[in-house]
Chain A
């Protein structure tokens, strides 16, 4: 069963400009980890913003877990799509502690279950000791793990990640990448990840897509990468 279904997606920032994304289609199955590659400016971030509902396409449809979230006559607000996102710069709320950040997305959960979920998440990303800290008191890698915990806590149907490693140096990146993919596999999470780095893709993605290349742009032919495992 596919979790994310994109059909004929077209988007442009203004009527005068050529579309950033043109007639794009993609289907991602449950538990799959898809890498999105492409040059700077090719529309990778824009694609994630369209899936999450932060931008609205000119045409095309997107369905998430069988529900149409956007089409020519439907638009479901981002907060109702069940999509989690890890932002490029994490966007942890600066006025809240680590714990409050993770609790933030759990308002629909029964009160008594929330605390347990936060602890679970902190354990998953191995940050139990930091729950009282504020984001500016954490290192880049720690912030990244909290951002991931925050996005996973409400149990999204699909997780989107926009260059989650771009702020990390090479050594840290390798260890965190390993850790991240383990976490995602453990949670059986469907995930779409934008990256600059082919190594990321080869390390863990089931397959990848290259955006913005004339020949693949209109028609997606997923290049299967050998999964490392």
Chain B
């Protein structure tokens, strides 16, 4: 009787949509499982060496970076969010948006820009020397080590905290803040007693995003010479071609990720407030005199340091090197980047759409499915990269007999030297970006139109193409833009998974910077930044159109 029902329900749900979704979920889950399986293999000498002498240092550096960056981004992000949400001062409307721009500059680009700018030959020191005849101690301005990395991460990742906290304050907190004000509390007291405790879930959410970025970073830390677990994964692979040890390092990093996941739970759930569902916007208080100027200066300095100064510096360098760098190989580079990004994005969106459509049934199984599919976003790039690499190498081993039958030689590396590997990496990492956008679209339109279509005798697939797809077109476009930009900016996956001689804008930029050809790196950097900014602008425009 029970089994009969189960069989009926399986037969009812089972169709091509489910098969495709399951395949997608398996592809995403496999590398992570593979990494954990490495723990059960026998350790080699490398690993014993790493574990005995190096691991402690890697873990310590990783944790120090995460903690310090977390603290400083929180300070910067929350204070800015509060000032922008609660007050009015000169240029506030501009800063409200402009303070997001630091996100458009990938951190590794910011790192080499600042390091060079503040270095001995950089514009700061040479101006001081030549114009003011003042020789500053170079050490003071050196961007390196943990302090340098924390400086860069803070300045260019704080917008995550800022954005989420500000959105929360602007929409959800009005009644409480106004009450506190009416009760005659001083602004500082309102901030400490009301704003901070209320917005804690939002702040934690923002910090977690920052932490994921830091944990997955390879560009900044390797450039500034810091040994973290992520950089060690790369070194073990590129230096020793030791996949097994690299996977063990990745497993260690996963342990930290899982720890953070539980920490987040703890921090968010400790206190749950039932916020009033009726939210109205917070009316900003006008700041007069000194206070207004102070707010303006604070936002202004952050905007200058976090966006304008490095951007202008890059423009100068680009002008210097334009003739040299901008040639046919550069065009090829742009073409390659766009090519791989478009292919990956399309794959991501196709699977996203299928899975999102399947999970509209809201069964517990589809819930798990959507969780699996979006899990890649909280797993740092280096972990995904090494997992995918390990699987592809194994695949090539298994397929060796097939290869030799096809006359491709004895035990060649076919799959693991192809572009497919990189595309799979992007697919796993950025699935969540596409999926979330599509899911929003489905949630907005609801199920009633698809249900109406089914009632008119049209099956699920045809319904999808005739009804659902036209209705989620907007979400599809924003999902495409967001995913495309993320892929263009991505560094660690591209570095580890690209075929020989295949470069993306990000890897080329990194290569230039690593070879101390900083000026040459500027044009590709600017291109990445401009793509990011444009996408934000386009999304805003779409958003406005949809609202109308």
Number of contact residues on B: which range applies?
20 to 34
Among residues 58 to 82 in chain A, which have CB atoms less than 8 Å away from a CB atom of chain B? 58-59, 72-75, 77-80, 82
A43 to B210: give the CA distance in the assembly, Å: 47
* Residue in B8, B451, B458 whose beta carbon sits within 8 Å of that of A91 in the complex: B451
Minimal beta-carbon separation of A12 from chain B (angstroms): 13
Asked if B470 contacts A107 (CB within 8 A), the reply is no
If the complex has contacts A56-B9, A72-B5, A75-B12, are A93 and B457 also in contact, measured as CB distance less than 8 A?
A: no
Among residues 82 to 104 in chain A, which have CB atoms less than 8 Å away from a CB atom of chain B? 82-85, 87, 89, 91-95, 104
A83 to B454: give the CA distance in the assembly, Å: 10
If the complex has contacts A79-B459, A84-B455, A154-B457, are A73 and B448 also in contact, measured as CB distance less than 8 A?
A: no
* Residue in B451, B462, B470 whose beta carbon sits within 8 Å of that of A54 in the complex: B451
Minimal beta-carbon separation of A67 from chain B (angstroms): 15
Among residues 35 to 66 in chain A, which have CB atoms less than 8 Å away from a CB atom of chain B? 52-54, 56, 58-59
Nearest residue, chain B, Cβ from A53: B454
Minimal beta-carbon separation of B118 from chain A (angstroms): 55
B546 at the interface (CB under 8 A from A): no
Minimal beta-carbon separation of A15 from chain B (angstroms): 10
B49 at the interface (CB under 8 A from A): no
Minimal beta-carbon separation of B338 from chain A (angstroms): 30
A8 at the interface (CB under 8 A from B): no
A105 at the interface (CB under 8 A from B): yes
A112 at the interface (CB under 8 A from B): no
Minimal beta-carbon separation of A87 from chain B (angstroms): 6
A151 at the interface (CB under 8 A from B): yes
A56 to B362: give the CA distance in the assembly, Å: 13
Asked if B456 contacts A154 (CB within 8 A), the reply is yes
B93 at the interface (CB under 8 A from A): no
A150 at the interface (CB under 8 A from B): yes
Asked if A105 contacts B458 (CB within 8 A), the reply is yes
A92 to B460: give the CA distance in the assembly, Å: 18
A229 at the interface (CB under 8 A from B): no
Contact with A along B449-472 (1 / 0, CB 8 A): 101111111111011001100110
A108 at the interface (CB under 8 A from B): yes
B501 at the interface (CB under 8 A from A): no
Tell me which residues across on chain B come within 8 A of A89, comparing CB atoms.
448
If the complex has contacts A72-B8, A73-B7, A75-B11, are A104 and B456 also in contact, measured as CB distance less than 8 A?
A: yes
Contact with A along B1-37 (1 / 0, CB 8 A): 1001101110110000000000000000000000000
Nearest residue, chain A, Cβ from B446: A91
Asked if A105 contacts B456 (CB within 8 A), the reply is yes
Asked if A54 contacts B453 (CB within 8 A), the reply is no
A79 to B456: give the CA distance in the assembly, Å: 6
Minimal beta-carbon separation of A145 from chain B (angstroms): 16
* Residue in A75, A77, A94, A95 whose beta carbon sits within 8 Å of that of B454 in the complex: A77
If the complex has contacts A73-B4, A93-B449, are A79 and B454 also in contact, measured as CB distance less than 8 A?
A: yes
Asked if A87 contacts B448 (CB within 8 A), the reply is yes
Asked if A54 contacts B454 (CB within 8 A), the reply is yes
Contact with B along A142-173 (1 / 0, CB 8 A): 00000000110010000000000000000000
A58 to B8: give the CA distance in the assembly, Å: 11
Asked if A72 contacts B449 (CB within 8 A), the reply is no
Asked if B12 contacts A91 (CB within 8 A), the reply is no
A59 to B470: give the CA distance in the assembly, Å: 37
Tell me which residues across on chain A come within 8 A of B449, comparing CB atoms.
91, 93-94
Asked if B8 contacts A74 (CB within 8 A), the reply is yes
Minimal beta-carbon separation of B449 from chain A (angstroms): 6
Asked if B457 contacts A105 (CB within 8 A), the reply is yes
* Residue in A56, A73, A75, A79 whose beta carbon sits within 8 Å of that of B457 in the complex: A79
Tell me which residues across on chain B come within 8 A of A75, comparing CB atoms.
8-9, 11-12
Tell me which residues across on chain B come within 8 A of A79, comparing CB atoms.
454-460, 463
A58 to B455: give the CA distance in the assembly, Å: 21
Minimal beta-carbon separation of A93 from chain B (angstroms): 6
If the complex has contacts A72-B1, A72-B5, A89-B448, are A108 and B471 also in contact, measured as CB distance less than 8 A?
A: no
Contact with A along B266-284 (1 / 0, CB 8 A): 0000000000000000000
Tell me which residues across on chain A come within 8 A of B453, comparing CB atoms.
93, 104
Nearest residue, chain A, Cβ from B364: A14
Nearest residue, chain A, Cβ from B451: A54
Asked if B452 contacts A91 (CB within 8 A), the reply is yes
Nearest residue, chain A, Cβ from B456: A105
Asked if A77 contacts B459 (CB within 8 A), the reply is yes
Nearest residue, chain B, Cβ from A160: B455
Tell me which residues across on chain B come within 8 A of A105, comparing CB atoms.
456-458
Tell me which residues across on chain A come within 8 A of B7, comparing CB atoms.
73
Tell me which residues across on chain B come within 8 A of A154, comparing CB atoms.
456-457
* Residue in B1, B4, B11, B452 whose beta carbon sits within 8 Å of that of A93 in the complex: B452
What is the interface of chain A, defined by CB distance below 8 A to chain B?
52-54, 56, 58-59, 72-75, 77-80, 82-85, 87, 89, 91-95, 104-105, 107-108, 150-151, 154
15 contacts between A and B (CB under 8 A): A52-B455, A73-B4, A73-B8, A75-B8, A77-B454, A77-B459, A77-B460, A79-B457, A79-B459, A91-B451, A93-B453, A93-B467, A94-B449, A104-B456, A107-B458
**6 shortest interchain CB distances as A-B pairs:** A105-B456, A91-B452, A75-B12, A91-B448, A78-B454, A85-B455
| 13 further A-B pairs in the complex, CB-CB below 8 A; given A92-B452, A95-B470 | A56-B12, A75-B9, A75-B12, A79-B455, A79-B457, A82-B457, A85-B455, A87-B452, A89-B448, A91-B452, A93-B449, A93-B452, A105-B456
